[in-house]
Amino acid sequence: MSRPAHRRPEYHKINKDLFVLTYGALVAQLCKDYEKDEDVNQYLDKMGYGIGTRLVEDFLARSCVGRCHSYSEIIDIIAQVAFKMYLGITPSVTCNNSSKNEFSLILDKNPLVEFVEELPAGRSSLCYCNLLCGIIRGALEMVHLAADVTFLQDRLKGDSVTEIGITFLKKQDEKKYRRKK
């Protein structure tokens, strides 16, 4: 049975490149609009957050994962199912503290930077992939988990690996719904 046209490997690659290239164009545009790296980083995080809040529904619909009972289960699902599904990579997971609420995802390969050799001149604090942090944060918040998500290491900045740190925060005190006198 011959392959239908849209399954040709070249098209698959073009499709994959579309997101990566669009992301690159977005970062380039933001660098034009904002002088400070922190502003670009913040903006990328904010956009990622918006994407994450919707992506999580898409993820849950496609993956049919069951309820998680611990933070480390959730992190495993993010690394082994979500990253695999959307970016085709499986970061490795480490737990950074004994209270089991701080984790790291170590990205060996990162498709987002496929066409990026180095950060632009004068942009040494740019977190090129900050969209990812926002996406993870937004997605977790939609399942009622507050977390800080940041890049701890970044190959583009000269570190040996790219590492995303995820710290689950204590849940908000639910007493805010108490009736006022």
Interface with other proteins by CB under 8 A: which residues?
Answer: 5-6, 10-23, 25-26, 28-29, 33-34, 39, 43, 47, 50-51, 54-55, 58, 85-88, 111, 115, 131
Q: Where are the alpha helices (DSSP H) in 78-129?
A: 83-87
- Cα dihedral angle (60, 96, 164, 82), rounded to 10 degrees? -20
| CB 75 to other proteins: min, Å | 20
Q: Which is nearer to other proteins, 55 or 105 (CB)?
A: 55
In whole angstroms, give the CA distance from residue 123 to residue 31. Answer: 9
Min CB(143)–other proteins separation in Å = 17
Residue 141 Cβ vs other proteins, minimum distance, rounded to whole Å: 16
**52-79 burial: b if 16+ Cβ within 10 Å, else e:** bbebbeebeeeeeeeeeeebeebbebbb
Give least dist CB 16 to other proteins, A: 5
- Rank residues 58 and 148 by Cβ distance to other proteins and give the closer one: 58
178 CB-near residues (< 8 Å, 6+ apart): none
Nearer to other proteins, 83 or 168 (CB): 83
In the complex, the smallest distance separating the C-beta of residue 104 from other proteins, rounded to whole angstroms, is: 23
Cβ proximity to other proteins: between 21 and 143 the closer is 21
Instruction: Tell me whether residue 71 or residue 83 sits nearer to other proteins (CB atom).
Output: 83
